[in-house]
A and B are shown apart, each in its own frame.
Chain A
Amino acid sequence: MKMSTIDTLVCRELTKKYKDKVAVKNFNMTLEKGKIYGLIGRNGAGKTTLLSMLSSQNPATAGVVEWNGENIWENPNALSHICFSREINIGTNGSGLGEMKAKQYIKTAAMYYPNWNQAMADELIEKFELDVKKKLNKLSKGMLSMITIIVAMASKADFTFLDEPVAGLDVVMREYFYRLLLEEYTRTGRTFVISTHIIEEASDVFEEVIMMKDGELLLKENTIDLLERSYRISGLAEEVERMTAGMEVHNREVTGRSKSVTVLLREGQQLPRGFDVTIQPLNLQNVFLALCGMGE
């Protein structure tokens, strides 16, 4: 049964090849309207490249991105519904960008996003105590993050992406960001995709989590569902092995006679009872480490 394309951003077999590596491989995914997605993956997993392609800021080597069934490539109509407020990187973009004043950067954003809300931008500039007269190269990493957050929020785009938005922000500002995100989401039902390294802090905010590994989609699942099928089993090695035979097992740790594994239950699977083991629930960070940690 073909899923309705209304209010969706879909990518099919999305691929990005460079001379020396394949950054994104055959990525297939549907983003629905009105959800907050968490995009997690190690450095170099391809998160930024993926988000860039989803917003046409980076042309795909293969595959398509469709908004409501329309290809977004060179499609200003589709692009007007998408915002990827990327990290402001003074270094690679050349000296010109650093010389730009924050005010000018935000003003240009206001020019380009058709649904821009200046009142919201002004309110956030004040809340963040941002000196917009300063040049971008005179601002700290945290303040640059604040600017990307302001642009993302004020763009009022249906599909808004943020790449490591809390980099450089202290814990108080990070908490403020999550609350701001939820408030805006609750008020408007916009779709957000947030990529982050600070997984545990943000996981309560994600309705679905998208896990990327080596350029591929590892899983895309409702956060609660994922956590409800993930457990850490430990005890006597033979006991643990007997119990978890036939299950999806990760992150095996052996110390002396004790063994510890992470299991992810498959559809319909239940945890077998009657084994003398310790069963612990896991948080999102634990699951991520089990699936994408060293040696997996």
Chain B
Amino acid sequence: MNEILTQEKSIYLQIAGMIETDILRGILLEEERAPSTNELAKQYAINPATAAKGINILVEEGVLYKKRGIGMFVAEGAKENILERRRSAFYENYVKKLIQEARSIGLNREEVIDLIRRNGDERS
């Protein structure tokens, strides 16, 4: 979570993304308390309203839930939740761009698939 903020995406989306990544990495476990709006605002020197927006996204997605009077907590099954959403978004966020780029440099589908296989070979 101690990453720095970049200019590419809206701040609050980055905040939400960072918390999700922390959950995936086991830095934040289920039923543990998530950082509060004020803590996030302080840590990243951003307006609390922005931090709140990021947290709200996670609440809407069911990744965090609110315990009245105490704060935000990581929901049960949050990890699965995040993984599933990221898998669904994988096509939109990565594959589409891959195809677009491949098209613009003149690679056809077979060549792209070959490259993907090669990555698989190198790793194993």
Contacts and interface: CB of A to CB of B under 8 A. Distances in A.
A182 B40 CA distance: 11
Contacts, number: 46
B49 interface: yes
A131 interface: no
Interface stretch (A17-25, A121-129, A200-208, A246-254): A200-208
B93 interface: no
Interface size band for B? 10 to 19
Contacts of B44: 204
A186 B36 CA distance: 12
Contacts of A281: 7-10
B11 interface: yes
Given A204-B5, A204-B50, A207-B50, A224 B12 contact: yes
B45 A224 contact: no
B47 A206 contact: yes
A178 interface: yes
B48 interface: yes
Contacts of B5: 204
B33 interface: no
Contacts of B49: 35, 207
A182 B49 CA distance: 11
A224 B53 CA distance: 10
B42 A182 contact: yes
B28 to A, nearest CB: 22
B53 A283 contact: no
Contact of A227 (B10, B47, B48): B10
Contacts of B24: none
Nearest to B45: A178
A224 B50 contact: yes
9 contacts: A179-B42, A182-B45, A182-B48, A183-B42, A185-B48, A186-B48, A204-B45, A205-B46, A224-B10
The 5 closest A-B pairs by CB, nearest first: A204-B46, A207-B49, A207-B47, A186-B38, A178-B45
Given A186-B38, A204-B46, A207-B50, 15 more contacts: A36-B47, A178-B45, A182-B41, A182-B42, A182-B45, A182-B46, A185-B48, A186-B48, A204-B44, A205-B47, A223-B47, A224-B50, A281-B7, A281-B8, A283-B7
Interface of A: 35-36, 175, 178-179, 182-183, 185-186, 204-207, 223-224, 227-228, 281, 283
